Amino acid sequence: MPKQRQFGTIPNNPVGTRFKDRAELSAAGVHRPTQAGISGGKTEGADSIVLNRGYIDDEDYGDYIVYTGHGGQNTSGIQIAAQKLTDSGNWALKLSFEQELPVRVIRGPKGDPKWSPPEGYRYDGLYKVVRHPWPERGRKGFIVWRYRLERIDQSASIEPADVIESAKGPVERRHGTTDRQIRDSGKAQKLKEEYDFTCQICCTRLDSPSGPIAEAAHIKPLGRPVDGPDTKNNMLCLCPNCHKLIDRFGLLIDDSYRVFKQPDGEDLGKLTLNDRHRVSQEYLGWHRERCALAQANG
């Protein structure tokens, strides 16, 4: 009987633990599969990933990672077809986002030299998938699914290779992941007030004893690599349901601000817009393109 999938830290394997090869990594239970980059089940979520330049579209920034899903490669590792979100590892990593599961990250010798060990594999701590995966045309022209992961484990710093080389003692952490997530909550609050906490898409206004509930959604997400701005023309005041749908490309807004359900295409009518709120066609365009790609490659 297979062992139950283990999420979170594996006892006796603290951040920085080194492994000779994939077999040793697997035996320790830090990343069970000996080949696949994503360890995960389609119903359970993903518990670990290996960053070892399996996909040229991966981007590594240390404390956060833009990871590429799997699939669509030939046996030489060249991208020759689109990736599907429904492929097991891709789906597992999507579940990790939805269920906020911690994902162990292991770096291998072929990863970005700035952050990777020169040989063998290194466990670099727990990360979280912080937004719904989005489709992108990869460097080889085929659709890849991308995931943004951020480090949540601060039990020990990870530092660029050159800093590790030159450091004599423990290096002081420059900034925590926890400090980076701050948005302009004042701007969001003002937008919600402008619309009296009413959803610009479905006109729902949720009330509760502790006040009305609405959310400020970013059309083009913040943070690298997408880098949408934290500005009013990239924001909508939405109910939690429509917010989730927008983030998952389940609602498309056309250039006349008409909203359509995805995948069935049902016309939901026009976005409510007040005179002081100009929503940028550029950001809506980015989102529309992702809606089309998501629908074709779900």
Where do contacts with a copy of itself occur on this chain (CB under 8 A)?
7-9, 14, 43-45, 85, 94-95, 99-102, 126, 132-133, 152-155, 172-173, 175-176, 178-179, 181-183, 185-186, 188-189, 204, 206-211, 213, 239-241, 243-245, 248-250, 261-264, 291, 294-295, 298
Residue 139 beta carbon to a copy of itself: minimum distance, rounded to whole angstroms: 23
Minimum Å gap between C-beta 76 and a copy of itself is: 29
Furthest C-alpha separation in the chain: 63
Rounded Cα–Cα distance for residues 272 and 115 (Å): 46
Structure tokens at 118: 């020169």
Of 20 and 183, nearer to a copy of itself (C-beta) is 183
Write out the two tokens for 138: 């990869």
Residue (21 or 164) nearer to a copy of itself, CB: 164
Shortest Cβ 293–a copy of itself spacing (Å): 9
The strand pairing partners of 68, in sequence order, are 146
Nearer to a copy of itself, 35 or 208 (CB): 208
Measured from the CB atom, the residue of 178 and 281 that comes closer to a copy of itself is 178
DSSP strand pairing (64-68 vs 143-151): antiparallel
Least Cβ distance, residue 33 to a copy of itself (angstroms): 20
Say which residue the tokens 């979100």 belong to: 85
Intra-chain end-to-end CA distance of the chain, in Å: 32
Dist CA 183 CA 298 (whole Å): 30
> Which residue, among 292, 294, 197, has the nearest Cα to 253 in the 3D structure?
292
Q: For a copy of itself, which is the closer residue by CB, 22 or 246?
A: 246
Q: Which residue type sits at 54?
A: G
Question: Nearest distance from residue 37's CB to a copy of itself, in Å?
Answer: 20
